[in-house]
Amino acid sequence: MAKPQQYLNFIAGRWVSAKSGKNFPNINPANREEILGFFPDSGPEDVNAAVQAAESAFPEWRLVPPPGRGEIILKAGLLMKERKEELARLMTQEMGKVLRETRGDVQEAIDMAYFIAGEGRRLFGKTTTSELRDKFAMTIRMPVGVCGLITPWNFPMAIPSWKIFPSLICGNTMVFKPAEDTPLSALKMIEILEEAGLPKGVVNLVQGGVKTGEAMVRHPKIRLISFTGSCEVGRLVAEHCGKNLKRCSLEMGGKNAQIVMEDADLDLAIEGAVWGAYGTTGQRCTATSRIFVQEKIFSSFKKSFLERSRKIKIGDGLKEGVEMGPLINEAQLKRVRDYVEIGKKEGAKLEMGGEPARGKGLEKGFFFEPTLFTEVDPKMRIAQEEIFGPVTCLIPFKRFEDAIRMVNDSSYGLSSSIYSRDVNRAMEAIRDIEAGITYINGPTIGAEVHLPFGGVKNTGNGHREGGETAIDIFSEWKSVFVDYSGKLQKAQIDVD
């Protein structure tokens, strides 16, 4: 086996080592013995160098016309399209999810590049009337400055694209820190941006863990933090940003629910529930971790759900026919096992799974069985806390109102779903479910880049990524008044 490659940070247009000289390994979760490379274990000195580079690049980058910025982003999207299969295969090795999912991850980044490139000609403000004669008023968007972007491991290219491309189109420069578990996908994305013609210092890549992220959040010259990750870390980010009046955008957890009404297309609802619960090995903030089924069809739904779930083929995501890959690392494997034990101790019935997956080809990876609990009280921890693994709860309900109440009985509010042929029920669900996303006759997963993405309650702090709303995160509004009266006019005072 070839010696793993040593990779570098990207600061001021140069590939450089961490100041400390320390590195960390990037491990294939399907085979813990395979090291994909070593990456810089960066610290505050590296972050400071990256911030200085971003600061130096900002005055010139902010003056590049937005359509020109868009051309670079578009070229990056076209390069990703050319290399989609290569990037997807690398991502499966690095993150573990199956190849068709990593192809989708890369495609989402491509889609975001195309969408945001077009926004370079659509950074619209508004013109409006003035209350005074011979005076013109309008609003325009301005860049924020140096932004700090912190992304998770479950969507190693898609989520960075949600942050990097909108930030670029608005004229910002940035420091980007990907998750320690997926540094190579992020590095490839930066290589593509460099090849697309992005000027030196506009995007700076700093690899590392907690101390790297802390240094970014605490750096006084970083004006905005965009963070996707856990609620626990998000709260700390928000606390520090609040103390220092630093802008922050948070996208955090979910405890997403699917409602299945008695009039639903049962086969469609089961396929949606299985995909929502076990796609990406349950490692999505939009994963279906609660399934509420009308009691008249509960038994038949459970039987079919179990039959379909037991057929899921687990293994290395690069292999043909595999439907579910490993968990990301040993810590996540332990977390999922611990939650299974919590569920059993709480009195829930373990219908399926609950153990690390065993079998030929699984010995060296972090594989876990698709897991289903029934006899779950909606107040149990397994029905309230985000597990981030292939574990879901099947819960019966009598009335539609009961289902809505239980869906909303959560500290989170990201994604939701209802399967029903009754348009009235569907419209009521849209109105009454407390979530940022609601799907009708579809699973809780499946975001599209031109729509806002985010949630309510503990899921975030009110911002939305994706769509035009992403531009609101990375730009400041400026109001402009042009007085051509040739005299001093006093607003409000001069109005009769």
Q: Which residues are catalytic, by number? A: 251, 285
Torsional sign, CA 139, 141, 144, 148: positive
Say if CB 285 and CB 267 are below 8 A apart. no
- CA torsion 164-167-172-174 (nearest 10°) is -30
Among the listed residues 148, 142, 158, 70, the one whose alpha carbon sits nearest the alpha carbon of residue 107: 158
Say if CB 100 and CB 313 are below 8 A apart. no
Among the listed residues 10, 351, 43, the one whose alpha carbon sits nearest the alpha carbon of residue 194: 10
216 vs 205: CA distance, rounded Å: 12
Helix (H), strand (E) at residue 52: helix 44-61
Torsional sign, CA 229, 232, 235, 236: negative
> Cβ–Cβ contacts within 10 Å for residue 213, how many?
24
133 vs 329: CA distance, rounded Å: 66
217 vs 51: CA distance, rounded Å: 12
Among the listed residues 253, 353, 351, 341, the one whose alpha carbon sits nearest the alpha carbon of residue 302: 351
445 vs 417: CA distance, rounded Å: 9
Q: What is the DSSP letter of 443?
A: -
- Which 3 state secondary structure label does DSSP give 304? helix
390 vs 287: CA distance, rounded Å: 9
28 vs 359: CA distance, rounded Å: 18
Around 87, how many Cα atoms within 13 Å sit in the side-chain half-sphere? 30
CA distances from 223 to 55, 99, 146, 156, 173 (A): 11, 37, 6, 24, 11
Say if CB 144 and CB 485 are below 8 A apart. no
392 vs 374: CA distance, rounded Å: 9
Torsional sign, CA 376, 382, 383, 384: positive
Place of tokens 């995007």: 203
